[in-house]
A = this chain, B = another copy of it.
Amino acid sequence: MSVKTMTAAVNEAIDQEMARDERVFVAGEDVRVGGPFGTEAGLHAKYGDKRIVNTAISELALTGIGVGAAAVGLRPIIEIMIMDFVTVAMDQIVNQMAKMKYMLGGQATLPIVVTTHAGVDSSSAAQHSGSLEAWFCHVPGLKVLMPSNAYDAKGLLTAAIRDDNPVIFISNKRCLQTSCEVPDEPFALPLGVAEVKREGRDLTIVATGRLVIDALDVAETLAGQGISVEVIDPRTLSPLDMDTILASVRKTSRAIVAHEAVRTCGIGAEIAARISDEAFDYLDAPVKRVGAPFTPVPFAPLLEDRYLPGKAQILDAVREIGLTT
């Protein structure tokens, strides 16, 4: 165990899985120098051009490298630098990678991890700040992960690399520099299993990525007011671990779902719709959603601050359901 940033944890997971399995390689833009966030730092020196494949600025082709190579037995990690850039790789992700096994009647096995970095990050503006996980959760054939801390990041990414399915692994940028104790040895967390990050009785907050940190903050604040909040991090957004979420809501009778992505049609809509349906008889208040407003991401720090959902917005939601005044 040692304290690691999420960046370091991601790096370590890739490194250890590459060491463990010859078939694992990384392809992406500027991965040779470690990638824009340092998640591949040092790996080129260790694994060389063969396994750290520095590609042209060609997201469609580089994703295709993953699809083709996986179809014939390799285990690619495909890095799409910034999540907004998936827009130029969607065909390979959605029409090929996600559907190939099914279209081929099961002939193909596609153990691919697509890693990317999502969300707002010091005024990167409208084309470098997107959180598009909901798109991928709408696509059968893909698994979608979004860890909120270094420990989960290492465990989930390790599991993703070992998984035989295409997995989209999303680092929320504002989590990358956070750190916690992380085992030094390789370890895998199960995919599709949510974690209760804090137990509570009065309210369930289901949060993803950076909003988990905000939700834990809120829980701490509310504890001071005698309100006991349970915080759940789904970690895997597709498939969703609704059992854990529903068990919690059946206990607390109240739920808020919070993420950084635009609220409308975000993953929070799916979670809220399912809670509202499947825990209908248990709910004492409507399920509230916290997410970004329906605007592109502005550049100005002042506007970006206002744009970003966080503690204040969660507290507003708590107020709306009548837990505070």
Point out residues on A near B: beta carbons under 8 Å: 60, 84, 86-88, 90-91, 93-95, 98-99, 102-103, 125-127, 132, 134-135, 137-141, 238, 261-262, 264-270, 272-273, 276-278, 280, 283, 285-289, 293-296, 298-299
Contacts and interface: CB of A to CB of B under 8 A. Distances in A.
Q: How many monomers of this chain does the complex have?
A: 2
A176 to B, nearest CB: 22
Contacts of A127: 95, 99, 103
Nearest to A274: B269
A287 B285 CA distance: 15
A277 B265 contact: no
Nearest to A140: B294
A269 B265 contact: yes
Contacts of A289: 273, 277
Contact of A277 (B93, B277, B288): B288
A47 to B, nearest CB: 31
Contact of A103 (B93, B125, B287): B125
Contact of A138 (B135, B273, B296, B298): B135
Contacts of A126: 95, 99, 102-103
Contacts of A299: 103
A274 B294 CA distance: 15
Given A277-B286, A288-B277, A296-B103, A138 B87 contact: no
A138 B262 contact: yes
A296 B140 contact: yes
Contacts of A99: 126-127, 296
A232 B262 CA distance: 25
A138 B265 contact: yes
Contacts of A94: 87
